[in-house]
Structure 1
Amino acid sequence: MAKDYVGDALERGDGEHFTRKIPVTPLAQIRLLLKAEKNSTKAVAARLGVSQRTVERYLAGQRKTPRKALRDALVREASKVWQPRVRQQARRRAAASGGITIETRARFGYTAAAGSTDDPRERLLTVHLPAAYAGELFQAQQNGASDQELREIVAKGFQEIYFQDGGRRADQLSEVEIQDITYLDVKF
């Protein structure tokens, strides 16, 4: 399974705005997921990749210490549903006026005019993208866009803001592509 670099980075960016810590005990995390899934133990089990009976055992207190895979799944899934209003407010601010800052180490390739090199090169970039790109990213993620589609939005923003410097240079540059991401971090 391919790593979801952009989606995961957006989720981590949400975490910086939380006003309280995410529950740490497995029981509290399962209860949080149960509330998010409208009391469906079956839905919680599907999210965690375990059986419905396993979820029921934790809720009944028959199990208390999960194995590593379940522990990791609990942390990952609980952080996705923790403080949804705080998450929405932070995203709304970024999409309305603040924008997002993306730091990445990746290989960037592009289509350019004849006579210039378009070989992909690894770069370490920190670029602030305007609110329009933040809104487009958040909307695409909410609509279930793949990591490739999210990368294309980021690449389009990098092309306009970094490579073309808002239209002041590289006007012959037609398409930037992000490949081989080593890491990607988002702040908003």
Structure 2
Amino acid sequence: MTEEEKAQQEARTRSKLMEGLARAERTLFTRPAPKSPRAQMKFLRTREKGSTKSLAERLGVSRKTVQRYLSGASIKPSKRLQEALVQETEAEWQPQVRARARQHAASLGGMVISCRAYFGFGPEGTSDAGRVRDISVAVSAFHAAAILAAQEDGATQSDLHDAVAEAIADTYFRQAGGGRAGLEVKFADVEWLNIAF
């Protein structure tokens, strides 16, 4: 595998980890986020303290475009703008609900990580040999705190990947020590990943 292919694979893995955390947070919303482009623009403008200029910069569009959507003159955004509106709205929606859930996961509740990925730690030809596995584990609050802290601190792909890999390895393969404390587990090629608080 070339360095470029490896970098692309790492970027896809980080994207899946970030998407998994975002999906977990969306399930916590107590009210649905705004759906129409106009409602999303109005909501985001309030988050930008009424500034259409800073909202336009945030979305990567002109100030006139923002004003057209706010007035109702435009109603059908481009695919790129629609994705930006959804992403930015969900990132700002119900921050207190999200913060409480993250605090609970990091202090008491932990989180459940389900994924399909390549895991390996034993020699070829044994039942421990590396292969693609479907795994669902409830990780401890300690590991949840490490994953959430890495995400909040803008962790690199490898840091976030390492935090999730360590949580899965410790919980599923090492069973929190249990005679396998030094076991090195390879976690790669993530096909899908879901996280629940």
The answer to whether TM tops 0.5 is yes
Mapped to 2, the partners of 1:120 and 1:47 lie a distance apart of 43
**1:107–1:180 contact (8 Å) kept in structure 2:** yes
Mapped to 1, the partners of 2:181 and 2:145 lie a distance apart of 25
TM-fit CA distance, 1:119: 5.6
Range with bigger deviation, 49-58 or 81-90: 49-58
Query: Given the alignment of the two structures, is residue 181 of structure 1 paired with residue 187 of structure 2, yes or no?
Result: no
Query: Given the alignment of the two structures, is residue 156 of structure 1 paired with residue 166 of structure 2, yes or no?
Result: yes
Unaligned ranges ≥5, structure 1: none
Q: Which residue of 1 aligns with 2:4?
A: none
**1:100–1:129 contact (8 Å) kept in structure 2:** yes
Mapped to 2, the partners of 1:44 and 1:9 lie a distance apart of 26
Query: What residue identity is the alignment partner of 1:85?
Result: Q
5 Å-filtered alignment, 1:127-138, equals 127-138=137-148
Q: Secondary structure at the residue paired with 1:178? A: strand
Q: Secondary structure at the residue paired with 1:167? A: coil
5 Å-filtered alignment, 1:1-188, equals 2-3=11-12, 4-110=15-121, 116-117=123-124, 120-174=130-184, 176-188=185-197
Range with bigger deviation, 54-63 or 126-135: 54-63
Range with bigger deviation, 18-27 or 116-125: 116-125
Unaligned ranges ≥5, structure 2: 1-7
Structure 1 consecutive aligned stretches of length 4 or more whose deviation exceeds 4 Å: none
> Superposition RMSD on alpha carbons, in Å?
2.0
What is the percent sequence identity of the aligned residues? 39
How many corresponding residue pairs?
183
Per-residue CA deviation, residues 148-177 of structure 1 (Å, 9 max, x unaligned), is 321110111112111111212434413x33
Q: Secondary structure at the residue paired with 2:176? A: helix
Query: What residue identity is the alignment partner of 2:42?
Result: R
Mapped to 1, the partners of 2:77 and 2:146 lie a distance apart of 38
Mapped to 2, the partners of 1:121 and 1:48 lie a distance apart of 41
TM-score for the superposition, normalised by structure 2: 0.83
